[in-house]
Structure 1
Amino acid sequence: MTSRRRFLAALGTTVTGIALPGCGYYPGGGDIRWREESIGGLSWAEDMGVTGETLYTVRSSGMSYDIDTETWVDGAEVVAYDTAHGRERFTEQFDRPAGAVALGDGGAAVALVEADTQSTPVVRFGPDGQMWETTVDGGVEALAVADERVYAVTADGALAVCADGSERWRVDLEPELGSDRGGFGPTVAASAEMVVCWVGGSVVCFDPDGTRRWNRSTVNARRLSIVDGEVFALAGHGLTTLEGDTGETRWISSDRVASFAVTTDAIYCRISLDVVAFDRSGARQWATSDDSGAGRNRAERDSTDYLDRVAADDRGVFVESDSGLTALATDDGSHRWTVEYDDIKAGPFLVDDGVLVVSEQGATCHVP
C-alpha cells in the first residue's frame, strides 16, 4: 500500500488545499505543497534564508566563467527563489568574493572583498534583484538588513548605516574591535526601531538615527536577534533576553542553547538533543523529553534526537531531527508528524504556504 505522502511526492505537483479530483483527499500536515528539484544544486551555498516570499542563497566564493572577458573569475553569487513555487527569481554574480553576508527584513546584502581594504562595496538585494550598491570606508566585518537599510560593522570599530546607495551616518563603537573577551567575531542585528551590535565584549544599541540607546558590557553574543522590540543574545553559555528600550535583562537560560525561535507567546529552544519551550518571561512550559503531558507520545519522543534549526509560529514548531523534518504542537510539544530526510541542507523556513526545507532532493514546501 502507498502512503498518502509518498503518493503526493510521486505526483510531483502542487497541492493547493483543494481536494484531488475523484479521491476526496485533502492535504494534511507534512504533505508536499510543491517541490522544485532544480534548486538542488544550491547545496554549495553557505548562507540561506527566507524573507517575505523569497528564499535567498549566497555562495561567498566560487569559480565561474565570464563570457564577456573569456576568463574564469572567483567571486560571490546570489540566487533568489520564489517561495510560492520554488522557481528562480534572479541570479547575481560578482568577480570578487563576499566577506560578509546579511539575510534579513526585506532582502539580503553582501560586502565584497577588495584587494584595497580602504573601502568595501556593499550591495543590497530585494526580491527582484540588486537594489543599490555603495561603498563603505574600511573593511566590513558584519552586516544586518532591515527597513531598506544595511548596517555594517567596520574593521576600524565603527557602525555605518547605508540606504538608497549612500552612507547615511556612522558612529564609533567602544570598546573597539580587538578587545573581544567572548571569543566571537562582531555581529549585528537590526529592525525598523533599533540596531544592536556585539563588539569588543559589549552589546550596544542605537536608535535608527544613530543615537546611542544603551550599552551592556556583561552580555556576550555570537548571534543577535530582535523580535517585538526585545533583543535576544545567543552565546556559548545560553540565551539572554534584553529589554529593547533599556537593555535590562529579562531572563537568562541556564542551559546551552544551540538554536531558538521566537513567537508572540513563546520561545522554543533546542538544548542538546531536546526542544524546550519557554513563555516570553522565561518560564519553562514543556520539553520533548518530559515524561508526562496531555497528548504526548513518550515512546516516540524519547527515540527522537533534535539536531539543528528551530522554526515556529502559531501553526507549530518545526525542527530537523535524526529522522528528517519533525513538527511538534506548540501547546505541549507533542509529536504531530515527521517527513523522512537523509540530509537537510537548510531550513526549516516558514513561508506563507507552509514549511520549506532544502535537501538533496531540491527545495520542498510541506503543509504545516
Structure 2
Amino acid sequence: MPSITRRTFLGTLAASASVGVAGCSSSCPDSDAPEPSVVVGTGEAGSGFETLPGGAWPSPRFDAGNTGHPPSRRPPTDPSLRWRTTLPAPRVDDARADASAPTVADGQVYLTTGAGAFALALRDGAERWHVDDLTPATTDHYGNELVPPVVDDGRVYVATGAGVVALHADDGTTAWRNTDAAAAGVPTVSGDTLFVPTADGLIGLATDDGSRRWAVDGVNTSLPAVADGTVVVGGEETVALDAATGDRRWSAPVRPEAHPVVADGTVYLGTYEGLVGLRLDDGSERWRVDRGSGRTFSAPVVTPETIYAVERPGEAPDATFALDRGGDGPPDPRWCSYVGDGAVAAAAGGHAFALQSGSSDQRPPPQLVAFTARFGEATWGYATAERPLPPALLDGALVSVTDRGTAVAFGGA
C-alpha cells in the first residue's frame, strides 16, 4: 500500500484566487492503485440486518444541493455483507448500465431497471413492490445510465421517457403522472416543488399533484442543485434560476463537467478548466484550482471540512483529491490517490467513498473503496466482477447496486 508520505500531496500553492498546483507532472505522486486492508463482497451474504440501519439517502447525491454528505452519520468501517439480491434488468436502449443507483428512505431501497421500478426491504433485500408499466429515463449524469428514483415525504418520483410518475412509497401505487415532457435527467425535490430536467430545459412541478408551475427552455443539466430558493443548472454555462418562478437570476461563463453542487452559499463546479467556486447570490467567482490544460475535475462531494473531486488529466490515470475548505479562499490539497476511471460518490464520518477501476492483477478488483478523510488511506473495499454504481450511505451501513442489477448491503461498526 502506498505510504502516507507518498500519497500526501506536496505541491506548492500560489496565494491568489486562481491556484496552480505545482510539483506533480501526473495526477498523483504515486501511480499504483490503493490496496484496502479489508475486501468484502465475494463471499456468502448474511440473512440481513438484526437492527435496521438509521438514516436515509433520498436522492443519488443525498440532498437537494448534491453535496453527497449526510451530516452526523457513521459509515461502516469494518463491514460484512448482510444481503444480496439480483433483480431482473433487461437492457434499456443503449444505456451503459442495466440498473440505476439506489436511494433509501423509511426502511426501503429504491432503484430502477429495464423491468421497471423496485422497492426492496432494507432489512434483508426482499422485494416489497415492483411497478413494471414504466421505462426509466436515461441520463448522461452517470454516462448514459438509468435515472434513480427520488424519494420525499412518502412519494417516490420516477423519471421516464414519457414524463414523471409519482408513486406511493408504501405500496408502489400511482399518485400522479405528468406527461408534459420526457425526463432527461435526475429530478431534485425541494420544498413542494420537483425540478425535472428535460431535453429542452427544466420544469418545476408541484409535488402534490404533478401540475406544472413553470418551464424554462435553453438550460441544460443532468441534475439540478437547489439551495436558498435558487436552482443552479450547468450546461454550456452555469445558470441560476428562482426556484419559485423559474426566472433567471444570473449566469456565469463556466461549463461544468457534470452537475453543480451547492453548500454554504457557494456553487462548486468540476469543470474542464479546473475546480471552481462561485457565489450563489450573484455567480461571481470566489476561487479556482487550476492544474493546467487538459485536466478536468468531476463534480465534487462537499463536507464542512473537505472537498473531494476526481481529476481526469487525460495522459495519466484519474485521481481522487481531498482539499481543505477554508473561508472564501481557495481550497488547499490535502492528499490524492489513484482511482483509475472512477468518481467520488459520498463522504461521511471521516471517510470518503470512491468508485474506481481497480488493478488488473486482482480478480475481481475492489471497485468501491473507503478512504480516510485525514490521510487518504484505503480502509476497505467492495470487490465485484460487475461495476458498482454510486452507493447509498446510511448510519453504519451502505447499499450498492451494480450495473447488472445486483443489489447488496453492508453493515458493521
TM-score by length of 2: 0.62
Residue aligning to 1:45:
98
Q: Which runs of 5+ in 2 are unaligned?
A: 1-36, 52-75, 92-96, 140-146, 313-317, 359-364
* Count of residues in Structure 1 that have an aligned counterpart in Structure 2: 312
Cα distance change on mapping 1:155 and 1:84 into 2, 3 Å: same
Cα deviation, residue 49, structure 1: 3.1
1:351 deviates by 1.7
Cα deviation for residue 144 of structure 1 reads 1.8
Q: Is the 8 A contact 2:206 2:213 kept in 1?
A: yes
Structure showing the higher helix proportion among its residues: 1
Deviations along 1:71-129, one digit per CA (max 9) or x if unpaired, are xxxxxx11123444333332112256646646446365334445xxxxxx421246433
**Counterparts of 2:225 and 2:273 in 1: how far apart (Å)?**
23
Question: Judging changes above 3 Å, is the alpha-carbon distance between structure 1 residues 104 and 91 closer, same or farther for their aligned structure 2 residues?
Answer: same
Matching of residue 208 in structure 1 with residue 259 in structure 2: no
Q: What does the per-residue CA deviation read over 1:271-309, in whole Å, with 9 as the maximum and x for residues that have no partner?
A: 2432211123442242234xxxxxxxxxxxx7x757344
State how far apart, in whole Å, the 2-side matches of 1:139 and 1:39 are.
Answer: 25
How far did residue 334 of structure 1 move? Answer: 2.2
- The more displaced of 135-144 and 267-276 is 135-144
Question: In the alignment, which of 326, 330, 354 is matched to residue 319 of structure 1?
Answer: 354
RMSD: 3.8
- Which residue number in structure 1 is paired with residue 120 of structure 2? 81
- Quote the Cα distance in structure 2 between the aligned partners of 1:58 and 1:166: 20
User: Given that residues 187 and 196 in structure 2 are in contact (C-alpha distance below 8 angstroms), is that contact kept between their aligned partners in structure 1?
Assistant: yes
CA distance in 1, matches of 2:184, 2:342: 29
The AA in structure 2 aligned to 1:47 is S
Shift in CA distance, 248/83, structure 1 to aligned 2, threshold 3 Å: farther
CA displacement 1:112-164 (0-9 Å, x = unmatched): 445xxxxxx42124643356324354554445221353223445556333321
2:79 is aligned to 31
What is the CA–CA distance in structure 2 between the aligned matches of 1:42 and 1:29, rounded to whole Å? 34
Whole-angstrom distance in 2 between the partners of 1:191 and 1:262: 15
**1:296 alignment counterpart:** none
CA 1:37–1:188 in 2, change beyond 3 Å: closer, same or farther?
A: closer
Larger relative strand fraction: 1
What is the aligned partner in structure 2 of residue 349 from structure 1? 392
- Check if 1:365 corresponds to 2:403: no
Task: Give the structure 2 partner of residue 68 of structure 1.
Answer: none
Query: Structure 2 CA distance, aligned partners of 1:347 and 1:166?
Result: 28
**1:12 corresponding residue in structure 2:** 46
- 1:122 aligns with 164
Q: For the residues of structure 2 that align with 1:56 and 1:329, how far apart are their CA atoms? A: 28
Could you say what secondary structure the match of 1:146 adopts? strand
Q: Secondary structure at the match of 1:333?
A: coil
Which segment drifts farther, 226-235 or 35-44?
A: 35-44
For the pair 1:167 / 2:215, whether they are aligned, the reply is no
Give the Cα–Cα distance (whole angstroms) in 2 for the partners of residues 350 and 124 of structure 1.
Answer: 24
Q: For 2:182 and 2:398, locate their aligned partners in 1 and report how far apart those are by CA, in whole Å.
A: 37
Contact 1:261 1:267 in 2 (8 A): yes
- Cα distance in 1 for partners of 2:396, 2:324 equals 26
**Which protein has the larger Cα radius of gyration, Structure 1 or Structure 2?**
1
Residues 299-337 of structure 1, C-alpha deviations (whole Å, 9 max, x = no match)? xxx7x7573443211241122341313221111212323
Asked if the contact 1:153/1:160 (under 8 Å) is kept, the reply is: no
When the two structures are superposed, what TM-score results if normalisation uses the length of structure 1? 0.69
* Contact persistence 2:261–2:299 (CA under 8 A): no
Bigger mean CA deviation after superposition, 92-101 or 218-227: 92-101
Deviation at 1:165, TM superposition (A): 1.5
Q: What is residue 257 of structure 1 aligned with on the other side? A: 297
* Contact 1:308–1:319 (Cα < 8 Å) also in 2: yes
Q: 1:285 to 1:267 in 2, by over 3 A?
A: same
Change (3 A) 1:37 1:154: closer
SS of structure 1 residue aligned to 2:128: strand
Q: Is 1:151 equivalent to 2:195 in the alignment?
A: yes
1:32 is displaced (CA, Å) by 1.0
